[in-house]
Every structure is written in C-alpha cells, then in structure tokens.
Structure 1
Amino acid sequence: MCEDKVAAAKRLVETYLERSMIPDPEGAAACVAPDFELVFTGGRRFSGPAESAAFNAKRYGWIKKKFLRTDAALDPETGDVHVYNTGHLYGEWPDGEPFEGNRYMDCFVVRGGMIVRTDVWNDSAERILAKHGLAEAPL
C-alpha cells in the first residue's frame, strides 16, 4: 500500500511538471489541491500554476526541465508523501540567448492524492547576475 501511494505521488508530480512545461497551467492545476501553495526561489509565493507560468514568461523566453531523478518518501505520521524532483533547466533568456545546465530542485508535498505545496529552487538568479557581470564568484 505505501509503495503504491509513493509511486502514485511521483507520477502525479511528474505529470504536473510536464504539464507546467508545455505550458498548460490548466492541466497542471488539475494536479493541485484548492489550498495549493507554490514558493519560488527568493520566497515569491503563487497560488497556482497560471501565476507561476506568467512569472516565468517575464523571466525567460522559454524554459524546460530535464529531469535527473524523482525521489519520494512517505511521512508515516501525517500520511503525506514528500517528493523531490531534481535536474537542469534549459531554454532561452528574454534576449534570445540560450542556456542549459541551470540546476533546480523542486520539493512537493502530496496529500490525499493532490499536490498541496511546492518549493522551487534554481540557479537562475546566480546565472542572471553572472550574465550582467555581477557574480561574486565564477559559476
């Protein structure tokens, strides 16, 4: 039973991420609970996939994720499944310059078969600083 719950949570998260990359905010929203919380790098909070897609449309010309791995663990006390998806972002900056190898880590909480929270971290801010000669150390 636990393995099935963990495997289902991993599939749900990967479906959400794939739909988010299209971008298909409505399809991604089908994977999230009504009280969903999304927190991006820097503490930016969004209430749903449409808001994060609009934010990304300003920051990137386009962006996709190359999944390296998806891991999950069941919290036996709460029944929540914590899912971790990591990999690299690739795409174009708004000026058309391509990028790749931008590390990311997305952490999800799945409860009752729906995503209730996502925390997103990536190297985009560091890469933007480096692009403008403002990085404190080489990447």
Structure 2
Amino acid sequence: MNDLNKAVEVVNQFLEASMEPNPTLAATFMDDDVKITFTGRREMANAQQITEFNKSRYEWVKKSIKQTDAVQKEDHCIVYSIGFLYGKWKDGTPFNGNRYTDRFEVRQGKITKMDVLNDSAEWILTPEINRLVE
C-alpha cells in the first residue's frame, strides 16, 4: 500500500472512530503533537476534546462522506473529507445536509494536522436554514 492510500485509510478509520464516538480509538490515528483547529479557530489538543466539543453542540452527529481527495507532498499527504453532517441538535431537533470539509495532514501513518470547517455555526445562528434542507 502506498503512502497516499495509507493516509486515506488512516483518515477514514479516524472518522469512523470519531463518529462512534470512540475518542480512545480515534486518538490512535493521531500524532501525539497533532494540531487540531475547528471552525471559529477553536484549537483542540486531542480526540477527547473533539468528542467533548461535539457533545456540547450536538445530541449526536455523524458524517455522510461524499468525497475523499488526497495529494502526496514531499514528506506528507493531505487528505480532504467532504460531505454532510446529520444528527440532532442539543434541543433534540434533527438536522441533515450541513456541509463539512475536513482537511488532514498525515505523516508516517499518523494525522499531524486537522482543520474542520462546517455550517453548524450558521445553522445555530439561523435555525430556519435547517428546515430548508431536505
């Protein structure tokens, strides 16, 4: 398996563990010095903080992955996971169609950087947007 395929596999396994949620398993795919930045420049140190943040925002959340793109760089791979979030907000309201793009850097089989972008903040500010999405 080449580095690019391995990087995509690592990211997909991380995302599966994150959606369980199983932060202990998810952490095994991350470098100890991983840099994690969520929308709004929220910096996190590890998979456990990601799970805690998601618990503060959602009753539950999953990803419908529509596309994965990967690029080989000199000393690492960049992997993009693109799709939609679905789940329930903390008030129990279901949602679907919330766009996301996650960007990962993978070095030597471990995620060293993760950038998370999604529409959740906009949807929280303007709840009627959720009703417009089928």
Q: TM-score, normalised to structure 2's length?
A: 0.93
Gaps of 5+ in 2: none
Write out per-residue CA displacement over residues 113-139 of structure 1, whole angstroms, 9 at most, x where no aligned residue: 1000100000001111111x7x8xx98
Write out per-residue CA displacement over residues 92-133 of structure 1, whole angstroms, 9 at most, x where no aligned residue: 0011000000000000000111000100000001111111x7
Structure 1 runs (4+) greater than 6 angstroms displaced: none
Instruction: Identify the residue that residue 47 of structure 2 maps to in structure 1.
Output: 49
How many residues are matched? Answer: 131
RMSD value over aligned CA atoms?
A: 1.5
Q: TM-score, normalised to structure 1's length?
A: 0.90
Question: Which structure: larger Rg?
Answer: 1
Instruction: Identify the residue that residue 20 of structure 2 maps to in structure 1.
Output: 22
Instruction: Identify the residue that residue 35 of structure 2 maps to in structure 1.
Output: 37
- Within 1, Cα distance between the matches of 2:122 and 2:3? 36
Gaps of 5+ in 1: none
Structure 1 or 2: more strand by fraction: 2
Instruction: Identify the residue that residue 95 of structure 1 maps to in structure 2.
Output: 91
Give the drift of 1:47. Answer: 0.6
Aligned sequence identity (%): 42
1:84 maps to which of 57, 80, 83: 80
- Within 2, Cα distance between the matches of 1:71 and 1:92? 28
- Within 1, Cα distance between the matches of 2:46 and 2:18? 11
